Chains A and B, each alone.
Chain A
Amino acid sequence: MQLLYFSARRMSTLISRALTITKLGDPRKVLELQKTHVSTKLAEKEVLIKWLASPINPLDINKIEGAYPGSESPKIGGSEAVGVVEKAGASSTFQPGDSVIPIGMGGDLWSEYDVVEDENLIKIRSNIDLISAATLLINPPTAYVMLKHFVDLNPGDYIIQNSANSGVGRAVIEIANAWGYKSINLIRDRPNVDELKADLKKIGANFVFTEEEFRKENRKISSEFDIKLALNGVGGRSALAISAVLTPGGTIVTYGGMSKKPAEIPTSAFVFKGIRAFGVAVGKWMCIEENRPLVDQMFDELQDLIVQGKLHPPPVETHDLENFQDAIDRTLEGKNPKQVLLIHPDYKKFMAKL
C-alpha cells in the first residue's frame, strides 16, 4: 500500500480505500471500494487508525439493505473492527502501536485508515489476539449485558437460549459457563448436527437441543429446572419455545430476530407467571457517558476471560478488503459456519507479530 504525501504546504492526507454503501439495496450490488482521502493532521485528542480487521455481521447486511434504523447512504460500512494507532494527537491518551476498538457503531470501519476521537475508542491489551479484538465489540458485550443486567443469577442457575451457535450464542455459553450458570441451548437442525452439539458442549453448553427435539423435552426440562432467563435471537416459534419454560417471574431478553418473525410469548406466561420481556441494544448503552465506567469494567472482564482461555472468538475466514464481493457472497450464504472477516493488507504482518 503506497502512502501518498502531498507537499508540506498542503494539508497532509493519505489515500485510503473504503468499502462504501453507495445506496441502500442488495449487498451484492451496492457496495464499491472507493478511494478516499484521510487527513493525517490530527486534533489534540484524535488518532489516526489503521483498521486491521472487521467482520461482516448480520447487522451490517441489514444496514446495507436499509432494514436497520439509521441506515444511510452513501456511507462507509462496518459495525466493529480492530485497529492499530498509527499516529496520535498532541494530548491523546493513545500511542502509536496501541490496539483499539471503536465504541459505538457509527464509524467508517471498512476503511483502511480513519481518524477517530479518543473518546470513541477503547484500548485493547496487547496480548489479545486480533480476531478476538475484531469481534469483541458487539457479541460478547451483548451476551455479558444480557447475563448480568436483567436477572440476579447465582452459580447453578439455569438460563435458556435459542440461536446458540451464533456469535452471541457462543459468547453466552462461554460467559455463562465462566460465571457458573448452566445453559440450555437450542439450535437449528442441520446435517452433522451431532458435531455441532459436541462443539458447543466442549465450550461449556450443558444441554443442546434442536428446536424439534426441544418440543419433546420441554415439559421435562421445565419441571426439572427453574429457568429464570431466556435469551432470544430468533423470534417466532423459537421465542415461544424458550419463553414457555420460564419459571414464574422469569425474564426473556430479545437481542435479535433471525427468523424475521415477531417473537411469540404465551399469554399465560404474562398473566399467570408474571413473565417480563425486554430487549437489549448494547451499542446504545455503551455510548451513554454515565455508563462508561461499567463499559470499561465489562471490557476488562471480557479481556480477562479471553486471556484465561474462557472466551473464544468464532471461527473466522478472512478476505482481503478488495475481495469484498466474495466476502459478501460467503456472508449471504447463510449456513456458513465461519464468521467472515474483511482484512487490511497489513493484517497478516500484525498476525505474524503476535
Chain B
Amino acid sequence: MLSRTSVFLKTINIHGCRFASQLFYDRYGDPLEVIQLQNESIETNSLKADEVRIGFRASPINPADINQIQGVYPVKPKLPAIGGNEGFGIVEEIGSNVSSLNVGDHVIPAASGFGTWRSEAISNENNFYKIDKRIPMKYAATLQVNPCTAYRMLKDFVELKEGDTVVQNGANSAVGRCVIQIAKILGYETINVVRKRENIDELKSELESIGATKVYTEEEFLKNSRSIKSRLALNCVGGRNSLGIASTLQQNGIMVTYGGMSKQPVQGATGPFIFKDIIFRGFWMSSWYEKSAKNQELKGKRDEMYSEIADWIVLKKLVKPKVVLRQPEEYKEALKDAMETAGIKQLFVFDDNKN
C-alpha cells in the first residue's frame, strides 16, 4: 500500500517543504540489488478529510521483509513498493474528519504490507493502530510482529497452566526470545533449541538470564529429548529439528509452525498423530491481524494484547530487543547484515526532519 507521498518527485517548494526518504524496489530480486534509496524534498501536501500524516521514527528489517523483496512472500504490495512491514511513527497532522487519532499519538501500521521503510506517510486513519505512548521507540518499532507472534502462539493453541513446558527451536530469533520472556512471565517452562555456535555458553547464559529454563544445541537436545514432556511446541526451523521438538509432545499436544529456517518441510512422526492425538497447526501474524480487522472479538484481543505487552515493557519484564540502529543511507550494510546474521535486528531510524 503506497501512501499519497508517492515515490516519485513532486515539485520543490521552498516554503513549507520537508525531506522524506524511502527505501523502495520496483522489481523482485536480491534486496542488495533492487532496493534503492530515494531522498526527496516534498511540498506540504494537504490531507484528505480522513487521512493522517505519520512521521516514522523507526522500522526494522524482518526476515519476511527480505522474502517480500525477493518475491517469495504471499503479501505482495503493488510495485514499485516501499520495503518493510512494521515500524513505529508519530501522528504529525490529521485531516478534518479524522476521529481515531490525534496529533502526537504513537502508531504502528494496522496491517502487513504498508511499506514502513520511509520517513513519512500519508494514508487513511484506518491504516494505523494507536499504541501506548509509554512504549519506548525500540520496543514500539518491533512490537507488531515478533512479541505478538510469541504472545498469540502461547495463548491461542493450548490452555497452558503454570509449570507447563513449552519446547521451541530457533530460540535465539526475535520471536524465540519473546517466547522465552513471555513464557517466563506467564509461569511456563521453556526448553529451547539453538544452533551450535562458537560462543554457545555465552548464548545459553544470556537466554537463561531472560528466563529460559533450559537451552540445548540440536545435538544436546537429541540426547535429552526423551525426558522432556511438553504440551506445546513452537517451530520455525522445519526438517529433523521439527520432528525432534514435536516428539516431546504429550497427549493432545500441539506443534505450531510459524517459520521454516531450514527450508525443509515440517516433519511429524506417524505414531504420535495416531496414538497421542497430536495436532500440527500454523500461525501467521499478518493473517491474524487481517482477521482481527473484520472481527470485533479479535479486535478486542488485539487491544488486550498490546495493553498487556505495554504493561510488561513498562514494568521492565521484557528486555530491550537487540537492535542496531541504521540511517536509511546505510541500507546496503543493513540489508546485508539482516540476511547474514541472526540474533540482532537492523532498525532503520528516521530523523524527525522538517524544514
Contacts and interface: CB of A to CB of B under 8 A. Distances in A.
Interface of A: 69, 235, 240, 254-257, 262-281
Contact of B281 (A240, A254, A270, A272): A270
Of the candidates B243, B271, B273, B280, the one having the most CB atoms from chain A within 10 angstroms of its own CB is B273
B284 A265 contact: no
Interface string B259-286: 1100001111111111111111111100
A281 B275 contact: yes
Contacts of B257: 267, 270-271
B273 A272 contact: no
Given A263-B269, A272-B284, 15 more contacts: A240-B265, A262-B267, A264-B266, A264-B267, A267-B259, A267-B260, A267-B266, A270-B266, A270-B282, A271-B258, A271-B259, A272-B287, A276-B279, A278-B277, A280-B274
A267 B238 contact: yes
Contact of B270 (A257, A268, A270, A272): A257
Contact of A277 (B74, B243, B279): B279
Contacts of A235: 270
12 contacts: A254-B274, A262-B270, A265-B268, A265-B280, A266-B265, A267-B265, A267-B266, A271-B258, A271-B283, A271-B284, A279-B270, A279-B276
Contacts of A265: 265-266, 268, 280
Contacts, number: 89
Interface of B: 74, 238, 243, 257-260, 265-284, 287
Contacts of B74: 272
A269 B280 CA distance: 11
Return the 10 tightest CB-CB contacts between A and B, nearest first.
A279-B273, A270-B282, A257-B270, A267-B260, A277-B280, A270-B257, A264-B265, A254-B273, A262-B267, A279-B274
Contact of A274 (B265, B274, B287): B287
Contacts of B279: 276-278
B270 A263 contact: yes
Given A267-B238, A271-B259, A271-B260, A254 B270 contact: yes
B273 A276 contact: no
Given A269-B282, A271-B282, A272-B74, A277 B258 contact: no
Contact of B268 (A262, A268, A269, A272): A262
Of the candidates A263, A273, A275, A279, the one having the most CB atoms from chain B within 10 angstroms of its own CB is A279
